[in-house]
Structure 1
Amino acid sequence: MTRRTENLAGRALMAAFCLAVLVPFAGIVLAALHPPGSVVPGLSWPQHPTLESFTRAWSDAGFGGLLRNSAVIALGVVPLALVCASLAGYAFATMTFRGRKVLFGFLMLGLALPYEAAVVPLYYDLRAIGLTDTPLALILALTGLFMPFGAFWMREQFLALPKEMTEAASIDGAGSWTVLWRVLLPCSRPALITLGLLYFLWAWNQFLLSLILIQNPAGRTAPAGLGFFVGAHNIDVPLLSAATLIVIGPVVAVYLFFQRHFIAGMLAGAVKG
């Protein structure tokens, strides 16, 4: 196979992946432009486009409060999880202590074990200390859920950096905290932004934990509220499409804003790792 054929095959494959994502998304957008309660005849432009489905979905589901709750939880999870992941990654990458490999392997089990198995015990533990139906319960649960991947991600990033940097800082009298905050983290900015973006996407899209830990309707997140909205309007396709676009809108906006940083972080990990 020649290089030109390989390039054409790669572009065709990427075009197929793009169509697989864009066509369903276009179908949702076109369906949301139909009037509420109307029949959507497949992938077609409506005869009388309207935003009535968006306004009705917003008012009926109360998406203003739902989006605010999701934002509070996501913005609480991201910084806390980033700090914990950076500290754990730094310890496993640069420090030598007894049981380091065993402890790291035990932490990595979190990537393999389904978190659904811990939902019920987690609920009773948080209820025992009075944290259920509060944003703090979901923030702490998601931070712990994201720790295995975050620790692995930051550990690999720190290991990929030249050891001469930390050695030179140590010779100049820098302590562990100084090496971490002044040397390693500034060099790992693309990886941190990428990890923070992943945390935001995962925290925003979390459904099961938010459904179990926050049962008060006033404290529901946007995905959980969308689930109840779907149950109440399961045959109104334009209304459901509009509600779906409202929920995923902030996620798409954040991703597009940080797109370059996200790609830079992924490529840096691929090249160095």
Structure 2
Amino acid sequence: MKVSAGERLMNYVILSLFALFALFPIITILVTALRPQIGVVGGALHWENFVTAWELGNFATALTNSLLVALLVVSLALVLSILAGYAFGTMRFRGSTVLFYLFLLGLMVPAEAIVIPLFFDLRNLGLTDTIWAIALPQVAQSVAFGTFWMRAQFRALPRNLIEAAAIDGTSGLAALWRIVVPPSLPSIATVSVLMFMWTWNEFLIPLIMSPGGQWRTAPLGLAIFKGQYTSDHALLAAAGVIIAAPIIVVFLLLQRYFISGMLEGASKE
């Protein structure tokens, strides 16, 4: 169907308005972050606000903790999701449907409902105030969605690829990593970005599972910083930009695969 010039222009106008609507809060935070702090006079752009917020909030430790937790969660959850999605998407075995819906329960049970009992269980195991107490519950949450996502991806692949590999004597794991995973990289990148974003923004689990504060993550650091500098909007905005920057960087690096994976998912529906 041929699109007229007027329709194309209207599409650009509508998309531009939506883009401005989405970017307005971000631009507002950036502008606020560059304003003078309380008691500071003069100057156009105060880039030193980021340095001050970084030092006062001790964000080096918080960001390092968040990065370590996110890398652990994403790596474990991604491998488990690929393996489970491969099993549910390409194999037929007794109880597979029931077991798959059991996985989906992880999407339906909120963390708030289980975090307190889980804290006592992990405390009895001596895992509280460790990276495992923060990472393992988030791995479980991410695996539920990751399995659902990868199952849909693997089910959409041509069956003759796996059948040909089986005829050639290729084992199941070899077929997965050599034949099934390469064409699924856009979907894997998409779910990786989503897992990283969810893990980075998680607030409740690190708050409960690290009562001593040894594994204080970036959102916790920002909350404490906000409580100390409530009235200084410039510092608060600068701290918010610091915390959000890693997510933006990850998305920019993987945006091509992320968009490709989302489009593939839409085309399969």
Q: TM-score, structure 1 length as denominator?
A: 0.92
1:55-204 alignment runs, 5 A limit: 55-204=51-200
What residue identity is the alignment partner of 1:32?
Answer: A
RMSD: 1.8
Q: Does the CA contact (< 8 Å) of 2:107 and 2:141 recur in 1?
A: no
Structure 2 distance, partners of 1:16, 1:146, is 34
- How far did residue 199 of structure 1 move? 1.1
Corresponding residue SS for 1:96: coil
What residue identity is the alignment partner of 1:31?
Answer: T
Structure 2 distance, partners of 1:60, 1:192, is 38
Aligned residue in 2 for 1:34? 35
Q: Deviations over 1:40-73 (max 9, x none)?
A: xxxxxx8532123212211111011111111101
Aligned residue in 2 for 1:17? 18
- How far did residue 137 of structure 1 move? 1.3
- How far did residue 7 of structure 1 move? 4.1
1:244-259 alignment runs, 5 A limit: 244-259=240-255
Distance 1:37 1:186, change over 3 A: same
Structure 2 distance, partners of 1:234, 1:187, is 49
Q: Does the CA contact (< 8 Å) of 1:222 and 1:247 recur in 2?
A: yes
Structure 2 distance, partners of 1:190, 1:17, is 26
Extract unaligned runs of 5+ from structure 1.
40-45
Q: TM-score, structure 2 length as denominator?
A: 0.93
Structure 1 distance, partners of 2:207, 2:18, is 32
Extract unaligned runs of 5+ from structure 2.
none
Structure 2 distance, partners of 1:15, 1:89, is 38
Structure 1 distance, partners of 2:243, 2:23, is 17
- How far did residue 13 of structure 1 move? 3.3
Structure 2 distance, partners of 1:111, 1:73, is 21
Question: How many pairs does the alignment contain?
Answer: 266
What residue identity is the alignment partner of 2:234?
Answer: P
What residue identity is the alignment partner of 1:13?
Answer: I
Structure 1 distance, partners of 2:11, 2:129, is 49
Structure 2 distance, partners of 1:269, 1:252, is 22
Structure 2 distance, partners of 1:50, 1:58, is 14
Q: Could you tell which deviates more after superposition, 25-34 or 2-11?
A: 2-11
Structure 2 distance, partners of 1:84, 1:143, is 9
Aligned residue in 2 for 1:216? 212
Distance 1:237 1:38, change over 3 A: farther
- How far did residue 3 of structure 1 move? 4.7
1:231-242 alignment runs, 5 A limit: 231-242=227-238
Structure 2 distance, partners of 1:6, 1:107, is 45
